[in-house]
Amino acid sequence: MEMDKLVSLCKRRGVLFQSSEIYGGLNGFWDYGPLGVELKRNIKEAWWRDMVTGHDDIEAPPGAPEAYEMCGLDCTIIMHPQVWKVSGHYDLFVDKMVDCTESKKRYRYDQVPGRWVEAKGQKVFVTTLAEANHAQEIEARALKFFNLRAKDAADLAWQGGLVSLAKIDPAEYVKVLAPEAKALGTLTAPRDFNLMFKTIVGALGTEEDAAFLRPETAQGIFVNFKNVLDSSRVRVPFGIAQMGKSFRNEITPRNFTFRSREFEQMEIEFFCHPNSSLQWYQYWRDRRFRWYTEMGLSGERLQLREHHQDELSHYSRGTADIEYAFPFLPAGEFGELEGVAHRGDFDLRSHMEGKLDPNSKPDLKVELGEDGKPKWKGSGKDLTYRDDITNERYTPHVIEPSAGADRATLAFLCEAYHEDQAPDDKGEMQTRVVMKLHPRIAPIKAAVFPLVKKDGMPEVAQKIYRELKKRWNVFYDEKGAVGRRYRRQDEAGTPFCITVDGQSLQDQTVTIRDRDTLKQWRVKVEEVSAELAERLK
């Protein structure tokens, strides 16, 4: 599937719009249109239902070490600034950026691929911003830089493969051809860039009133751990889920909504006994992977990538990414949909004791400032757990399945896009675009049409529409040829179309058409609702 086709469908059919488009748009911000908002809501509701409200607290699900409880939270976007100091985001939530003095552009240095090449006695690292066909784009830039023609491509002596700018020693930046520059050596040395959006709370407007928009929803859960324990009857093991907006001032937002500056997360912090934390990690990793396949992502484009031991923080006993082969990525590459991390007791201990040094070995130590005092103080509150049966007191370990609602929406959209052949109103085969969304997440569950706008057909169709509307988001359409109405619903991903025709007036039956198989069958009017309920399961 070509990404351009999906992007254009999203705009044309009201799935996604560039934010503030009439003013030229704002990079990294996206609005969901009438169809998009339903799709994303359905995805979030499916997640909440499957992970929280529909979860059976009494019986252990397959693969879980034992039964566990789940509950939810909805925390504020702006929290006490100390939260971000203690969590490490204030000091460490940074990306390295480089500035180009020629193009005046700023880049995340690990997102600028390039390759060393030598010609005419000069060695240059040629970079590109192309999202695919890197090799082709780099060759074209190298030919231009060395003033060579395409037929002289053999004069370019390539050295090594494609590497990111992050792997290049800044002392060699004089030999770098920046992505949008004509001259060499226009990049500044890499600098830290904190991704948190800053704001001011209150009317005084001083630096002391500075606060941050949350870059993840997770911290709201940690700081409410004690509140949840004290106010509900949950016992470890249990999980707290939260979904909501997060904000990151990404240096290079790109790939449609994949890397946005404002996005939604769906996160779970699962609290368990340290002795069983590895089993719980394995359970959540597999459970979350399965969720995407149950919702319709195919095995081929979805993968679970376990991080290597040397990629893990020393307190973590495992991290896995659930990844999807988005069509805008080069062939064979995958993009992260969700991370499942074993976080040990790092977060709860930090909020108790103060900012911990994630690199200290063998145990986490409170990080000290230059004055020898704790760098950022914790809450001082007791965030340990006492098991009322065994009387054991301990700091629970945390497993964190952290998903992105917008990335999931994008993956479901990419997976759903299909083109096939279907007969038009004259019975001639035409290419049709069909979004094969799982019925649970389809924005419109069914469309109801009268075949023609006369003979009492609209009245029957409207009655069915009103009946179905009590349970689902259904759509009524009587405009234009029926074939065109089917096509519009195929593009919207509507699983079923119900048509009232001449026969309906004789025998009180209607046709139901299946979006994917194009099969049609007749059902009694009074059975339409039950039939739909069965098929939408």
Helix ranges (H only) for 148-244 are 218-223, 225-231
Distances (CA, A) of 266 to 42, 114, 236, 240, 404: 13, 34, 21, 11, 6
Nearer to ligand GAP, 263 or 284 (CB): 263
Q: Which of 361, 371, 247, 385 is nearest to 313 (CA)?
A: 361
Instruction: Quote the distance between the C-alpha of residue 346 and its chain's center.
Output: 25
Give the shortest CB-474-to-ligand GAP separation in angstroms: 31
* Under rule CB under 6 A, residue 237 binds ligand GAP: no
Choose, by CB under 6 A, the member of 127, 242, 265, 409 that binds ligand GAP: 265
Q: Which of residues 324-343 bind ligand GAP (CB under 6 A)?
A: 336-339
* Under rule CB under 6 A, residue 218 binds ligand GAP: yes
* Under rule CB under 6 A, residue 345 binds ligand GAP: no
* Under rule CB under 6 A, residue 180 binds ligand GAP: no
Nearer to ligand GAP, 108 or 440 (CB): 108
Nearer to ligand GAP, 256 or 475 (CB): 256
Query: What's the Rg (C-alpha) of the chain?
Result: 27
Give the shortest CB-305-to-ligand GAP separation in angstroms: 12
Q: Tell me how many degrees the CA angle 133-321-131 measures, rounded to the nearest 5.
A: 15
d(CA 145, CA 179): 12
Phi-psi region at 42: left, alpha or beta (left = phi > 0; alpha = psi -120 to 50): alpha
Q: Which of 503, 327, 345 is nearest to 416 (CA)?
A: 327
Q: Which of residues 374-403 bind ligand GAP (CB under 6 A)?
A: 400, 402-403
Nearer to ligand GAP, 408 or 464 (CB): 408
Residues 6+ apart with CB under 8 A from 1: 327, 414, 417
Question: Which residue type is seen at 109?
Answer: Y
Question: Which residue type is seen at 213?
Answer: L
Q: Which of residues 5-64 bind ligand GAP (CB under 6 A)?
A: none
* Under rule CB under 6 A, residue 216 binds ligand GAP: yes
* Under rule CB under 6 A, residue 366 binds ligand GAP: no
Piece of the chain touching ligand GAP by CB under 6 A; list 111-119, 260-268, 304-312, 360-368: 260-268
Q: Which of 417, 408, 412, 406 is nearest to 29 (CA)?
A: 406
Choose, by CB under 6 A, the member of 38, 250, 323, 478 that binds ligand GAP: 250
Give the shortest CB-407-to-ligand GAP separation in angstroms: 4
Binding mask 422-451 for ligand GAP (x = CB under 6 A): ------------------------------
The site for ligand GAP (CB under 6 A) is made up of: 216, 218, 248, 250, 259-260, 263, 265, 267, 336-339, 400, 402-404, 406-407
